[in-house]
Amino acid sequence: MIRRLLLTLALLACLGLARRATAQQHAEGPEAGAGAAHTTPHDAATGGHEGHKQYELLPNAKDPQTWWAAVWVLIIFVVLLAVLYPTAWKNVLAGLKAREDRIRKDIADAEAARARAEATLREYNTKLATAEGQIREMLSKATADAEKIATSIRMQAQHEAALNDERAAL
């Protein structure tokens, strides 16, 4: 409740300052316009810009209005800081902390997934090497079996040829 009251007072003070500054500008307006009524031939040639108020890039440090405006800006800043710090700043910090935790968790999950992928790759490479070894072994065994069968067929054919020669000789 007190915070709302302070915030309301700060906003009313800002509005009062803005109203006062606007009133001062309107009060200065006719004076600047009266000076523009007296033009010289030089003013007509240059477009009459000298009748308008020239604004500087930096405020005049000797002007008390500049100092009062700076003081009010500081007061408003401190009041808003005092009001927003316990309310909004905690939420901002909590959001940043939650974001940081989420990012850390995502990084940890990504590292775990990478480790699992590397382990799976090693496992597949091991299985592939084992399968290649088994294929070589099977091929060598099949080659040996084929040679044995070929030798056996040759020997049987030679034996039958010899028997046929003996029968033919009788």
Q: Note whether residue 133 is domain-resident.
A: yes
Q: Note whether residue 86 is domain-resident.
A: yes
User: From CA 69, how far away is CA 25, in angstroms rounded?
Assistant: 14
Q: Note whether residue 95 is domain-resident.
A: yes
Phi first, then psi: what are they for 57, rounded to 5°? -70, -40
Q: Note whether residue 56 is domain-resident.
A: no
The model's confidence at residue 99, banded by pLDDT at 50, 70 and 90, is very high
Q: Note whether residue 103 is domain-resident.
A: yes
For residue 160, pLDDT beyond 70: yes
Task: Calculate mean pLDDT across residues 26-47.
Answer: 49
Task: Calculate mean pLDDT across residues 140-159.
Answer: 94
What is the tally of helices (H) and strands (E) in the chain? Answer: 4, 0
Residue 82 belongs to what domain range?
2-24+65-169
Q: Note whether residue 40 is domain-resident.
A: no
- Which pLDDT score is estimated for 49? 56
Quick check: helix, strand or coil at residue 170? coil
The model's confidence at residue 33, banded by pLDDT at 50, 70 and 90, is very low
Q: Note whether residue 37 is domain-resident.
A: no
Total tally of structural domains belonging to the chain = 1
Q: Note whether residue 140 is domain-resident.
A: yes
User: From CA 153, how far away is CA 160, in angstroms rounded?
Assistant: 10
